[in-house]
A and B are shown apart, each in its own frame.
Chain A
Amino acid sequence: MFGRLLWKMLRGNRGRLAVALLSIASGAAVISALLNLQFDIERKLTQEFRTLGANIVIAPQSGAQTVDLANAGGAAASVPVLMNESAVEAGLEANRTPDVVASAPFLFIVARAKDEPVVTAGTWLDQARKLNPTWKIEGNWITSREDETQCLVGRNVAQRFQTGPGGALTLSYLGRSAQFHVAGVIDSGAAEDSQIFVNLPVAWKLAGTPGGIGLWQLSVSGTGKSIGEYAARLASALPGYDVRPIRQVTEAEGNLLNRTRLLIASMVVLILVLTALCVLATMAALAMERRVDVGLMKALGGSISRIVGLFLAEVSVLGAAGGLIGCVAGILLAQWMGQRVFGTAITPRWDIFPLTIAIMVGVALTGALPLRLLGKVKPAVILRGE
């Protein structure tokens, strides 16, 4: 009986119910899309921040000199302290996480080209690219870590030695020398413009310090806190080395992330309130409409609790159905927003859907609060048509 009545009620007044359903569904769509966006925004933004480059460096302890300045001219020679490449790599490998976007060892030496000192960096060139996605390259990047015949030069170096992609360059270091083809010219706007980049094994041969590196750079995605925790984990895995987050990057990242998140969160709350209000208004109107039905039911001997129960069931069904339809629309909306804002789709989070549906049912039931007044409905008045 209860089920049949409910079914009849839902079928009877289809036009009005469609309006209510539409309002609930659109509310649910906006809410679920925004919640999805809100949860994904942190991940998306931290990925964007990786264009800022390395945010953790590993160096020999207590700022020891890692560069032999004998070639720099003037400064007194001091013996550089280097780290063991394979030891650091083993430590990093043991603490590998998918959050590590790029990581590369660096050995800086002051070599001479055409008898002029120039900073030469030996690194893993395939990783260095991912470490510095904002560098502009003229010519080609060197994609292989083993390539020992090519080098990349900074913009100023290319200008100074009048060379470019396809040119040749000879580097010498304390009597040893090596010949390179210039594969590409780097434009970074910073110190790298005055440096030469080669693969690590070549730098080892040139410097005569096989296995030694001066610095290891990592680009790790995550919040300031998670990056700090990862740095601490690395520090305990690599005793004797100095692991530190680059403050310029991590502090700015945390700052910006917090502000953006707060901003979007407050917007989402406002929209939630608005949408709830919209659904509330529709449901309240619907409930008032039902007064005539209630009068009739009461005249036929229906108890008030049963009648209210019936209407609550109707409202809940509406809320759940609208919420479900809205969630599906919300996924599409979130995809579209993700595409528009970040250029990539947003991963749908399934835990948002039950939450949205629950919110919608709750709001719909609140909207049905005027049903309390149904107890006061006098069947005689209603039946007289007043």
Chain B
Amino acid sequence: MFARLVGESFVRNPRRKILTAAALVVGMAVTTATLTVALEVGDRMAREFRSLGANLLVTPQSDTLPLEIGGVDYRPVDEGAYLNEADLGKLKTIFWRHNILGFTPFLDVPAYLGMGKAESETDVTLIGTWYEHEVPVPDGTIFKTGVSVTHPWWKVRGQWFHDGANECVVGAQLAARYPGGVSVGQTLYVARDEISSYVQPLVVTGIVSTGDADDDAVLVPLSVAQDISNHRGQFRQLFVSALTKPEDTLASRDPKSLTPAEYDRWFCSPYISSIAFQIKQVLPGTEVRAIRKVADSEGRILSRVSTLLWTVTIAALVAAGLAVGATAAATVLERRKEIGIMKAIGATNTIVGGIFLVEQLLLAIAGGAIGFVFGAALARVLGESVFGTPAPPRILLLPVVLGLAAMVALVGSLIPLRRAAHIDPAPILRGE
């Protein structure tokens, strides 16, 4: 009997149901889309932040003070400590190896530049680095990294040098002030100093503009800088770009003061401090520091953006709830007459309420499921337009969305139903 009543109500007057169902579909589609994007956004934004470049700096522990001004180290080559290039593959063996997006070693060498003619000779800094270098990882794989990852804002006119080749890329300012100019395809001769007999010819493959002091240097493959400085297989500084999680109260505490359980949690979270700690473990004798300017800003802005998004998501949820509730309320109110008749022929308030609630519940499940499908599609479009890659649908959200839909539909009909309980059948039947 109960089931027949509910079924009849759907068959007899489908138009009324469509309004509530439509509101549910739209509301739940928006809910699904915002929740999907909100869950995704932390990861996506963290990746966007990597356009700021490296956030960790690795230097030798027992080192003389670097004479670094504007990104160029002016120390003579025979001073200070060096790190070994061969160890770098180990970076991809740490616990958070997948969060290491890239790393680039640097070796700055003061040198003497000429084109074979005395009048165009000048002092210059050679910056040895990788562009796209293949690093062998101990587990047998190859990891490709270099300034293309850690310094994405460096733009080159022409081409980057090939790794290991006798080629170079000249900083834009140096190229501009160099007597006679420097053009792509030309050969430059560099030597360690004026009297050195070791002269290295380098073919210019491009002009680089970095917006920094590196614009006044010559960028060469790391191996070339190593040969000229006579420090084979070594470098001075390593820039690491890692995906991290904004610091919270746990991350800001000293790891030594943590309990074993807290320590495990800290070690297994991609905080910048725990990644720095893990890098230090595989590269002993180094100092690993978070580049505060980048790391702190990233953490602050990331947490701001995600709070912002969650606030907006809550607003979207409230708006969806209001929309569904309002339609549900409207349909119940429209059916006062029906309620009056049911009551007149002996239905109790419980039965009337039950019929309406079951109807709303069925609508909520159907509307919620359809809404979820539309929402997943909407999230794809949103992800595509905002981050360039679609946000994958999350099946885990389906029960959440269905539950929300049921809750909203029920709460929306509760208030008018309570008023319906007070309906007196007599005036309704009289047509008042």
Contact = CB atoms under 8 A, between A and B. Distances in A.
Interface of A: 19, 23, 26-27, 30, 33-34, 37, 41, 45, 48-49, 51-53, 62-65, 67, 69, 72-76, 78, 108, 110, 116-119, 132, 134-136, 156-157, 160, 187-191, 193-194, 215, 242, 244-249, 251-252, 255-256, 259-260, 262-264, 266-268, 270-271, 273-275, 277-278, 281-282, 284-285, 288-289, 337, 340-342, 384-386
Contact of B65 (A34, A157, A268): A157
Nearest to B324: A278
A34 B66 contact: no
B45 A262 contact: no
Interface in B24-56: 26-27, 30, 33-34, 37, 41, 44-45, 48-49, 51-53
Contacts of A65: 216
Given A188-B293, A194-B66, A244-B211, A270 B33 contact: yes
B382 A266 contact: yes
Given A30-B315, A194-B68, A247-B211, A75 B334 contact: no
B387 to A, nearest CB: 7
B76 interface: yes
> 4 nearest interchain CB pairs?
A74-B76, A63-B173, A385-B431, A247-B211
B101 interface: no
A45 B300 CA distance: 10
Contact of B312 (A34, A251, A284, A342): A34
Interface of B is mostly: helix
Contacts of B193: 76
Contacts of B19: 281
Given A30-B318, A191-B71, A385-B431, A267 B34 contact: yes
10 contacts: A27-B319, A49-B297, A52-B293, A69-B74, A157-B65, A191-B69, A251-B51, A270-B30, A281-B19, A341-B304
B87 interface: no
Given A63-B216, A245-B211, A267-B34, 13 more contacts: A52-B294, A72-B76, A160-B64, A248-B211, A249-B52, A252-B51, A252-B53, A264-B308, A270-B34, A274-B323, A281-B326, A282-B326, A282-B330
B422 interface: no
Contacts of B71: 191
B311 A340 contact: yes
B163 interface: no
Contact of B52 (A135, A252, A264): A252
A263 B44 CA distance: 12
B292 A263 contact: no
A116 B66 CA distance: 11
B230 interface: no
A175 B386 CA distance: 60
A256 B123 CA distance: 39
A248 B155 CA distance: 11
